[in-house]
Amino acid sequence: MLRFEAVSQRFGTLEALSNISFDVPDGAFVCLVGPSGCGKTTLLKIAAGLIGASRGRVTLNGAPINTPRREIGILFQQPNLLPYLSTRANVELPLALRGISRPERRTTAERVLHQIGLADFAEVYPSQLSGGMAQRAALGRALVQNPSVLLMDEPFGALDAMTREHMQLELLQLWQHTGKTILMVTHSITEAIFMADRVVVLTARPGRLHTEISVPLARPRHLEMVHSPEFGSLASQLRAQISLA
C-alpha cells in the first residue's frame, strides 16, 4: 500500500501542499485531479522520493520513501528519451546505471519491448518515433525494473485524441495483466473516470484533500462506456467537486 500521511510542502514562503492524507491500496488504479497549480506534480515527486516533504511522509508497505526506489517507477508527460540512444538502450538505461550486465539487461529490455509493443522498433532512435511510441518507450523505461508502483504525471497529455485513447486502453490492459499499483495525475475528467477505481480531488493551492470519488464502472473498460448515462453522471459529479475545490 502507498500511503500519504499528513503531507505538506512549502517552497520558501509558498505553501504548495497542506496536510494531505490518503491511501492507494495494492493493485489499485487511482487518479489525482484538481485545479492547475494545486500541487499534484509536487505530490507525485514526493511519492517518488525525488523531493522530501516539509511535513508528513509517504510510505510504501510501511517503509518511508525518502529517496528513489526500484519498486517505484515514474512516467512524466514528456518522454525525456535520450536522443543519441536507441529505443532499446533508452529502455535499458536504469539497468545500465545499476551496473547490470549487458546480456541480462538486453534480455530484460527485450521482454519489456514486447510487452509495450515496440519490439520491432528496438534499434530506432527517438527522432524516428511517433509521440505515442516515444511515450511507450518511456513507459518501458519505467517498467524495466519491474516496479510494484507506477506514478504517472499527465502521461498522455501531449498526445492527440486518438493516440491518447489508444494509450489509455493499452495502459489498462497492462495494469490488468501485471496487477501494479498506479497513481496517475490527469487534468481530464473523462480520463480520470475511464481509468480509475477511485479519483482523489485536491483543492486549489495550497493543495488539500477535498474529496474522493469511487468509480464503480465494470472492468474491463471500453470506450463506449464514455457515452453511457452512468459515466455521464460520474463525470458531472467529479466536475462539480473540482469546481468546489
pTM of the model: 0.94
* pLDDT tens over the chain, length 245 residues: 999 999 999 999 999 999 999 999 999 999 999 998 999 999 999 999 999 999 999 999 999 999 999 999 999 888 999 999 999 999 999 999 999 999 999 999 999 999 899 999 999 999 999 999 999 999 999 999 999 999 999 998 888 888 899 999 999 999 999 999 999 999 999 999 999 999 999 999 999 999 999 999 999 999 999 999 999 999 999 999 998 87
Q: Which CATH class is domain 1-71+149-245?
A: alpha beta
Given this model, what pLDDT does residue 158 score? 82
HEC string for 67-116: CCCCCEEEECCCCCCCCCCCHHHHHHHHHHHCCCCHHHHHHHHHHHHHHC
Locate 195 and state its grid cell. Answer: 481509468
Termini Cα distance of the chain: 26
- Domain borders along the chain are 1-71+149-245, 75-146
Q: Are 200 and 22 in contact (CB under 8 A)?
A: yes
Secondary element (H or E) of residue 214:
strand 209-214
Given this model, what pLDDT does residue 245 score? 79
